[in-house]
Amino acid sequence: MSTNEVAPTNHLSDHQVTLEVNEQAVVLNVPAHRTLLDGLRDELCLTGTKKCCADGECGACTVFLDGVLVNSCLVLCVETEGQSVTTIEGLSTNGLSDLQEEFLNSGAVQCGVCIPGQVVAAEGLLRTNPHASATEIRDAMAGNLCRCAGYERIVQAIQVAAGRRVEIT
Amino acid sequence: MSAANDARAMGAPVIRYGGAERVSGTQRYLSDIEFPDAAHVAFTTLPIGCASIESIDTTPATTMPGVIGAFTAADLPAPMPRFGISHKDRSVIADGVVNFHGEPVVAVVAESPDLARIAADAVIVEWTELAGVYDLDSALADGARLVQDAALRTDDHKHSNVLETADYAWGDLDEQQRETAHVVENTYEFPMVTHFTIEPGGVVAAPTDDGGIEVHSPVQHPYLLQRILADVVGLPLSKVRVIAPDPGGGFGGKQTPRYEPLMAVLAQRTQRTCRLILSLEETFQLMRRSGCRVDARTGFRDDGTVTFHELRADFHIGAYADVAPRVMTKGSYVGAGPYRIPAVRVHARAVLTNTTPSCAFRGFGAPQVGWATESQIDAGARLLGIDALEMRRRNLVDLDEAFIRGDHEARADGRWHQSLERAAELIGWGEELPEGRGRGIAVGIKPGATSGLSQSLVRLLYDGSAIAYAGTSDMGQGARTLWKQILADELGVDLDRISIVSGDTTAVPFDLQTSASRSTVFMGNAVLEACRDIRQRVLDLYAEATDISIDSLEAAPGELSTPSGTLSLIEAAQVGLGSLRGEIIGQGTSRLRGVKGHPLGGDAAFYEFNATAIEVEVDRETGEVLLTKHVTVGDVGTELNPLQVVAQDEGAAIMGLGHSLMEQVLLDEHGCIRNLGALDYRIPTFNDVAVEMISDSIENHDGPGPYGCKGISEGALLCTAGAVGAAVADAIGTPVRQLPLTAERIWHAMQSANAEQPTN
Ligand code: FES
Ligand code: FES
């Protein structure tokens, strides 16, 4: 006969973290194991950032941390002391961005669950590589899974938005 | 946009309903919805595929502060309530045995998700491993342990692990065999794969003040869930409310109830709102596609004409029926493909194993059998030295020609050769290829729904805005966008003044299902009929209000013509409604009754047909496949929204690359899923899409849906494997018959091909 045994975890919210989220200062009281993803969703009710694999593999939870793209499921709240986070909500404060509009125009949005992560990742890509080619877009976005497989549509959306931005500047 | 300014919404690239919410993160999926004061649920499961439960000690959990309760089979009525669609075989919670890896043994309810998890892990379960059957061979072996207790089964096969069989036959197979010179015989395997919706599973259940129950679940079939819940908890339908938030991906995986009955029981027992959000790993243990092994024998004349085709298909369905018997029945029904074959014999079985219960998954059994049949056509082509496209040209049926014969014939309801030719043209069939490349072409077919009922209500409001009530779940296919387009054209209402209500059994009329690519046809016709009903009512009311004779009025899309000129339907409605205002309510019903004695229960409302052509490059050192070109052509009838058609088509095509090239659920010798989770289970990414991808459609306006449309959401996945397999075989000179075509399998095939003569 066998039994199931699992080591217990401490779930007490005994850590205080001060950080900035979408340009607002926030204070979190969380247990040490609380991920930034769960902190955003459960403590701050910022549910635009999605949770799928919780393993750093799907990209649904992509946010900016001090301007750099991260999978927020792989970051602990306690690691973000003094840092600034931008989520999909922070990218949507003045109506839809050009990228978001192009996602819609290209038919990139099916069920939509992966889309906030895709939009944040695409924004990060265009900020670092405004002239990204289709191949560079695919490489940069390869960590963002879409089971509806709108990949072709997303590449098109990013290309159109990139073209517009280059025209404007 | 409105009919009044002549720009039709139908056929235009109208942007997805709910799109702005989805790109900005405000769309609320189940796990995003706040349920104040909810209690949280976590399951205790065992690291084993088949075991008897010897004892359960929940006290380590229940003594933790903040734990509300821990529920086991002992807390449920005896005999254990069981549920299911065709077979009531699934217990609400594990009942003395664990039948597959991940089956819940204990459900813990606690004040926080963390605490529920910790408490569920603290429960002590003593168990003994049983001789579980984890693959087809062990399940079918003499003396195999029965996955389901024969005493609980009433079917003919109850003393075996075969749950159901399906047989289809026509023509004289023996005679054809005697007369056929060329026969190929092979075995094909199709893997178990999981849906991997980006939204993992979840359910929230709450008791209501009137003694009823309210269940929130992102299901594709809310009304089916309502019926099953009512049955399990013993309440009338009117006291069971199902609220179905838009699923974050369904693909067939969110059709049937699984943990909802347990959650309803927990809510009743605790009188709390109970919330369960699964991890992706737990979601792997909730749904999968049936694996399949097909033995195929096919005869050919010298000119490539198929003379007979014999298939034995075993579907590896898992521990409970779910809809898998139907998957087996419907998938093998079209097993012989869209071909003109004088003699066919298909024998298919749904085989129980101690694995995750399989369910519907885009393609519904057709891709599994199609993989074998398409590969056999290619085997014949290689044997006879005939081009693979030419083989299909010679055997594919023409419009209105029977491809399924016997008592219940099925005839081609589209000009399928056009799709085949278009795919061939777009891939550049026949053009020279560089060394290391190969090309393949395949066709696929799937029966749409064989019966169905959709009901819809449309309200035209006084100010010229409108609301449609349509129970289709909007899981990515964009159903509500289409309803909006229909309302815009038929009533002349601006697109941005239309709301669609769905996902609530209390507010929205009945809809049988969101599956089988049937919603645009069935619900589409119901919405269309409701709009036409409104037009008739406007006409009647206008006549009554103005004393103009009904005979001199005529309603058309968006307008009413009167003896003194034409006015918009909205203006006419306002005149008709007069100073009391109010609204015009239209109702529409779309019903397809089944046919007695038909092996599928009825004729398919339409067939989805697709032709796929693929070009690959295979790395001879590693066996890795690079897709250089991927063409998919669907026979769509009419494109109602080109943006959505292309998205569905590409999406299905790329999803098909998963089971073709990389996806498979792997088990260890104890029935545990080895690649449980995203780290070890790969699905197609941006980098797996072909260098060049082309999605095209054939429009002959010959479908039964609104404006001549057909269902389109599955077609491009039906024959992906066949086309990829043929392309790889073309590139390396030998076929691989086991999916997925991993680099390792291809490398081995190349090594043995070097050592032997090529096979067919
Ligand atoms: S949820 Fe963070 S990468 Fe998947
Ligand atoms: S849109 Fe459904 S997962 Fe990407």
Three-state secondary structure call for residue B701: coil
CB B264 within 8 A of CB B247: no
Quote the CA–CA distance of B10 and A125 in Å, as a whole number: 36
Task: Using an 8 Å CB-CB cutoff, list chain B residues near A151.
Answer: 650, 654, 684-686, 689
Structure tokens at B611: 């032709």
A87 and A7 in one domain? Answer: yes
Q: Is A117 in the pocket of ligand 1 (CB under 6 A)?
A: no
On the 0-12 / 13-18 / 19+ scale of CB atoms within 10 A, B669 is exposed
Distances (CA, A) of B390 to B305, B442, B527, B643, B759: 10, 11, 43, 33, 20
Specify the pLDDT at position B441. Answer: 98
Sheet holding B498-501, edge to edge: B498-501, B466-470, B452-461, B583-592
Residue linked to tokens 């560079």? A136
Residue type, A44: L
A77 and A18 in one domain? Answer: yes
A120 and A77 in one domain? Answer: no
Confidence of residue A6 (pLDDT cuts 50, 70, 90): low
A26 and A102 in one domain? Answer: no
- CB count in 10 Å sphere of residue A143: 18
pLDDT exceeds cutoff 50 at B5:
no
Specify the pLDDT at position B758. Answer: 52
Q: Is A150 in the pocket of ligand 1 (CB under 6 A)?
A: no
Assess whether B714 carries a catalytic annotation.
yes
pLDDT exceeds cutoff 70 at B272:
yes
Quote the CA–CA distance of B714 and B731 in Å, as a whole number: 27
Structure tokens at A110: 């099916």
A5 touches chain B (CB under 8 A): yes
B506 touches chain A (CB under 8 A): no
Structure tokens at B37: 């004061």
CATH code that applies to domain B19-27+452-592: 3.30.365.10
CATH code that applies to domain B291-353+367-449+598-754: 3.30.365.10
Backbone phi and psi for residue B700, each to the nearest 5 degrees, phi listed first:
-120, 10
CB B654 within 8 A of CB B494: no
Three-state secondary structure call for residue B140: helix
CB B191 within 8 A of CB B291: yes
B585-591: average pLDDT:
95
**One-character DSSP codes across B327-340:** HHHHHHHTTT-SB-
Fold of B35-130+195-284: Aldehyde Oxidoreductase; domain 3 (3.90.1170)
Domain coverage including residue A150: 98-168
Specify the pLDDT at position B335. Answer: 96
B47-101: pLDDT as tens digits: 999 999 999 999 999 999 999 999 999 999 999 999 999 999 999 999 999 999 9
The partner residue sitting opposite B686, judged by closest CB among A6, A50, A138, is A138
A107 and A64 in one domain? Answer: no
Closest CA to B318 of B97, B163, B473, B173: B163
A150 and A132 in one domain? Answer: yes
On the 0-12 / 13-18 / 19+ scale of CB atoms within 10 A, B552 is exposed
B6-36: pLDDT as tens digits: 468 999 999 999 999 999 999 999 999 999 9
Specify the pLDDT at position A10. Answer: 66
Q: How many CB pairs below 8 A link A and B? A: 205
Q: Is A121 in the pocket of ligand 1 (CB under 6 A)?
A: no
Specify the pLDDT at position B613. Answer: 98
Q: What is the mean pLDDT of chain B?
A: 95
Quote the CA–CA distance of B712 and B644 in Å, as a whole number: 10
Residue A114 sits in a domain whose CATH number is 1.10.150.120
B376-409: pLDDT as tens digits: 999 999 999 999 999 999 999 999 999 999 888 9
How many structural domains comprise chain A? 2
Structure tokens at B166: 């399906």
Residue type, B159: H
The partner residue sitting opposite A105, judged by closest CB among B15, B24, B279, is B15
Looking at per-residue confidence, does B511 or B367 come out higher?
Answer: B367
Quote the CA–CA distance of B85 and B476 in Å, as a whole number: 25
Question: What residues does ligand 2 touch, defined as CB less than 6 Å away?
Answer: A 110-115, 146-148, 150; B 198, 249, 476
Confidence of residue B756 (pLDDT cuts 50, 70, 90): confident
pLDDT exceeds cutoff 50 at B4:
no
Cα B91 off chain centre by: 24
B696-722: pLDDT as tens digits: 999 999 999 989 999 889 999 999 999
**One-character DSSP codes across B571-615:** HHHHHHHGGG--EEEEEEEEEE---TT-TTSS--S-EEEEEEEEE
Q: Is A52 in the pocket of ligand 1 (CB under 6 A)?
A: yes
Residue A74 sits in a domain whose CATH number is 3.10.20.30
B691 touches chain A (CB under 8 A): no
A76 and A109 in one domain? Answer: no
Closest CA to B583 of B490, B460, B458, B457: B460
Describe the crossing of helices B569-577 and B519-546 by its angle, rounded to 10 degrees: 50
Q: How far does residue B111's CA lie from ligand 1's centre (Å)?
A: 25
A18-44: pLDDT as tens digits: 999 999 999 999 999 999 999 999 999
A119 and A76 in one domain? Answer: no
**pTM of this structure:** 0.95
Looking at per-residue confidence, does A10 or B437 come out higher?
Answer: B437
Closest CA to B203 of B461, B61, B31, B328: B31
B511-535: pLDDT as tens digits: 888 776 678 888 999 999 999 999 9
The partner residue sitting opposite A1, judged by closest CB among B127, B644, B654, is B127
Coarse DSSP helix, strand, coil percentages of chain A, rounded to the nearest 5 percent = 40, 15, 45
Last residue of a domain, one of A51, A73, A91: A91
Could you check whether the bond before residue B79 is cis, i.e. omega within 30 degrees of 0?
yes
Give yes or no on whether B19-27+452-592 and B35-130+195-284 have one common fold: no
Lowest mean pLDDT across A142-146, B193-197, B703-707: B703-707
What is the sign, positive or negative, of the torsion defined by CA atoms of B15, B475, B514, B367? positive
Closest CA to B712 of B640, B612, B630, B618: B640
B399-428: average pLDDT:
96
Specify the pLDDT at position B745. Answer: 98
The domains of chain B are located at 19-27+452-592, 35-130+195-284, 291-353+367-449+598-754
Task: Using an 8 Å CB-CB cutoff, list chain A residues near B686.
Answer: 137-139, 141-142, 144, 151, 154-155
A109 and A79 in one domain? Answer: no
Structure tokens at B83: 């549920």
Specify the pLDDT at position B71. Answer: 98
For residue B246, what are the contacts with CB-CB under 8 A and spacing of at least 6?
A: A111, A112, B18, B27, B29, B218, B473, B474, B475, B503
A85 and A28 in one domain? Answer: yes
Quote the CA–CA distance of B750 and B760 in Å, as a whole number: 14
Element (H, E) at B63: none
Quote the CA–CA distance of A98 and A117 in Å, as a whole number: 16
A114 and A50 in one domain? Answer: no
pLDDT exceeds cutoff 70 at B370:
yes
Quote the CA–CA distance of B114 and B327 in Å, as a whole number: 38
Task: Calculate how close chain B gets to A46, using CA atoms only, in Å.
Answer: 9
Quote the CA–CA distance of B115 and A9 in Å, as a whole number: 9
Percent of chain B residues past pLDDT 90, beyond the cut: 91
A152 and A118 in one domain? Answer: yes
User: What value does the CA radius of gyration of chain B take, rounded to a whole number of Å?
Assistant: 27
Specify the pLDDT at position B475. Answer: 81
Closest CA to B483 of B497, B470, B496: B470
